[in-house]
Structure 1
Amino acid sequence: MSARWYKRCGADFIHGTMMLTLEEKGAYSLCLDLIYDRGAPIPDDARWLSGVCGVSIRKWNSIRDRLLDLGKIYAENGLLSNARADFELVSTELSSRERAESGAKGGRKRAENAGQPLKNNNIAQAEPKREEKIREEVEVVEATPLPVVSALPALQVWNDACAATGWAQVKKFTPTRQAALRARIRDDGMDGWTAAIARAVASPLLTAQPPPTWFDFDFIVKSGNFAKLIEGKYDRQFSRNGSDDRPELGRTNAAAISVFGQPQRQNTEPDFEALRRVGPDRGAEAVAIGQR
């Protein structure tokens, strides 16, 4: 769905492009305009894009690499796109479909009402409708719709933290990820999300180099994992070769025990009652085996 006109927040663009040169900002802005005008990702064609931007192919390739490194655009299957543009285009299409469906339902309802004959022209003698009777008998509490929460500022907080720590940045903000992030914001607020990310950035475990591969966006937006983070589960300091209280454990094992708990140990003590039932001849041999 082509978006000839699209919402553009000047403050967001200025804040998000502070690290870019004037030339890079111009090329990035043109890429966004092309994506919205097309209503989809654009071809990753250096000759075409360099012509649109008015620069040489070599210069465009340099700008393209810079925008990719900063996560402003992403490349996939020979196409270029932007995570926020993907989200806005999907939202616009869904809103358009909802308006079309609502209009169609309203038209059908009006046609049905127009085709029904009046059963009783005397309003004073007409019986109340069934819905009105129900409302007279019980208290009807209208449901309060959940507010629409914008997940983009929270996503920017995560990607900024990734740039500083080496965690994997979000390049594809899918509807599933959007819903999970909105749930965290509804539960803890934007302040709670920001505080949790700050706590993760301050964690020696999560910011070790290289950072743990299991700690990513999909991990943190899960309710249980997010609760562990804000409760300080990942705050503990670990040495490079072992834990503080069990130096014989490797760093990875110590971190796993801190997060997931101690594994259950198998009982290696011999069952002397059972050995007595075996008999004196085989009992000594079984005890020796059990104590190995």
Structure 2
Amino acid sequence: MKTLVIKFGGAAVASPACFDHVAEIVKSKIEKKKRVVVVVSAMKGATDRLINLAKEVHPNPPKREYDMLVTVGERISISLLAMAMDKIGLQAKSFTGSQSGIITTSSHSEARIIAVKPHRIEKSLNESQVAIVAGFQGVSEQNEITTLGRGGSDTTAVALAIALNRENFFSEVEFYKDVRGIYDRDPHLDKTASKYDFLSYEEALKITLAGAKILHPRAIALAKDRVRLRIRSFIDLNDDGTVIGSDAYLKEETLFYESLDPRPYQVSLKGLKVGQC
């Protein structure tokens, strides 16, 4: 059975109340009897606060200790989300990057993923649990905690999708953002910006390398021809968002995605605005 990977950025978990909303989104996927892994970033602003705290203590903190500190943000998010899921009757278990089997190079604060060994995640999925994974982090072959650089949670999600769906040529990652997809201009600054419904990997990579921060370029490069990506809003759940993939991929996987993505979602959006949950 295919495993869907869902990634929530910091804006989606900006406050404690947001975790209830995220849990309901995940529940809508579980109700379709899909295996789900959720990758979560630190709460909005948490990583910056930790970095500032480090610099108050040391103007140029040792990179090992820097990584040890900043990974706290994601650990807070995964545990809170597991609690929110338990509250609505979902079985879930949280995992740090190292517990998830994310093996990286030893370059602190700029590590690269070299292998994924998701044995504990697969065991959790086989026991009908939702696996919640801390993005942005892993462990080196020397058993040191490492981070993947800002935006590294996107890469975590794609790497897990590949590893967990190794018997399937195609896999899927959904990224939930505070925008409805990828636009030709920043929709926060220009209300006339137009959303792309579909982009090839090359087109999406070009846009992100030009400065759009909607998705990390490394994640797109890793996904190419192996993982279809969908960027969508955690506010407007009925919007299809932007799909990144190939034409062959889009045609091959249409039925799978339609069975995965029921609408309308049974999630209350009353009074929900950007930056709130």
TM band (smaller chain): under 0.3
User: Which structure is larger by alpha-carbon Rg, 1 or 2?
Assistant: 1
TM-score normalised by L of structure 2? 0.23
Relative to its length, the structure with more helix (as a share) is: 1
Relative to its length, the structure with more strand (as a share) is: 2
